[in-house]
Structure 1
Amino acid sequence: MTTFAYIRTSTTEQNSALQRGAIAAAGIVEKYVYADEGVSGSLANRPRLDALLDRLDDGDEVVVWKLDRLGRNTRNVLDLIETIKSKGATFRSLTEGISTGGPMGEAMLTIMTAFSQLERDTLIERTRAGLESARAQGRVGGRPPKVDGKMLDRIRKLAASGDYTRAEIAEMVQISRATLYRAMRLI
């Protein structure tokens, strides 16, 4: 009977230290920790999770820091839990305090998974609505352009004169050569 842990970060910029700390505090040995870093929870192919599932035996336990680390939608999480159970193992989430060791834990798991997906779907819906509202008001997201109309006119005149190299023009208008080349595509 072995207790395994699964860690997942969605992007390579995210840090797994919080998850690793909670798992270490739960007494799980590092050699039994499987981590997919920079892998979305919505992806079906998560190599380290697959390796963990292949290794499970009767009586083992799979622990995650938080339920959403296992998957992004209710169906996916419940399918993974079913796979874990089919191998005779149990599942436990540290943050939510849920374990499939009994029928009440399984019922709570189903409810919590549904609420997690609802929360995620609501967040996505609000984000889309906010972006659409901003677009309707003429605002667009992203970084403001380095080259405005006035600067583009100056670049056009300097380039048309033929007296300056592109590197010199970039230095004169105080932008990088890459930005200059992008701006010149607009000319």
Structure 2
Amino acid sequence: MIRIYYRVSTDKQDFDMQQKAVKDLCSVKNIDYSSCIIYQDFGISGTIADRPAYQRLLSEIVSFDTIICYEVSRLWRDLEEQSRATKSLISKNVNIISVADGEIKTLTDTLFADIKGSVNQFEARRLKERINAGIAAKKAKVAQGLDTWNYRGPDKKKRKTDGYKAEQERRRQLKKAIL
């Protein structure tokens, strides 16, 4: 069985670019995309292992299945989770194919994936630091009376809700088109 995993971190992103690249890869490898099982996590960081579709993927995978993703960072941005999951998947002879990173099916492949995973984890941590530094700088300006803080509470929640609803509708339409 071929299982395809997509993930985006924010409500401002969609799966379109990942999906096109994966469909192109399937075409090159003579894989019938419509017969693949699709898993999608929307608006969840790869640093979090407790993602609904990711956990479902791991629970449903069986020996000799194949996982296709756009990039390994879509599956993992946490090196420990990547190591744990990769070890488990390879022990089941599961082939992991990434459009951007190639295949992970041997011990040597895992070495390169671990190196890339270290970079992905570092990048995620660095992004979090930059966001926190930006928030601290904004709060300092507000405390000095040089700026105002609009909190973006209700607006942010509304955007996330609207984006989530739009993505859910897009998925429903996509499923209808496939069936």
Superposition TM-score tier, normalisation by shorter sequence: 0.5 to 0.7
SS in 1 for 2:3: strand
**Residue 155 of structure 1 aligns with which residue?**
none
Calculate the aligned-residue CA RMSD, in Å: 2.6
TM-score by length of 2: 0.66
**Residue 7 of structure 2 aligns with which residue?**
8
Unmatched 5+ stretches in structure 1: 146-187
Question: d(CA) in 1 for partners of 2:67 and 2:151?
Answer: 46
**Residue 95 of structure 2 aligns with which residue?**
90
**Residue 116 of structure 1 aligns with which residue?**
120
Q: How many residues align?
A: 143
Question: d(CA) in 1 for partners of 2:119 and 2:125?
Answer: 10
> Which of 37, 43, 52 is the matching residue for 2:48?
43
1:24/1:30 contact within 8 Å kept: no
Q: Which runs of 4+ in 1 moved over 6 A?
A: none
Identity percentage of aligned residues: 24
Distance 1:30 1:37, change over 3 A: farther
**Residue 72 of structure 1 aligns with which residue?**
77
Equivalent residues in 2 for 1:8-27, closer than 5 Å: 8-27=7-26
Give the residue type in structure 1 aligned to 2:89: I
Distance 1:140 1:94, change over 3 A: farther
TM-score by length of 1: 0.64
2:47/2:77 contact within 8 Å kept: yes
Residues 135-171 of structure 1, C-alpha deviations (whole Å, 9 max, x = no match): 33435564499xxxxxxxxxxxxxxxxxxxxxxxxxx
Question: d(CA) in 2 for partners of 1:68 and 1:77?
Answer: 9
SS in 1 for 2:67: strand
Deviation at 1:12, TM superposition (A): 4.2
User: Which structure carries more helix by proportion?
Assistant: 2
Deviation at 1:66, TM superposition (A): 1.4
Distance 1:125 1:13, change over 3 A: closer
2:86/2:110 contact within 8 Å kept: no
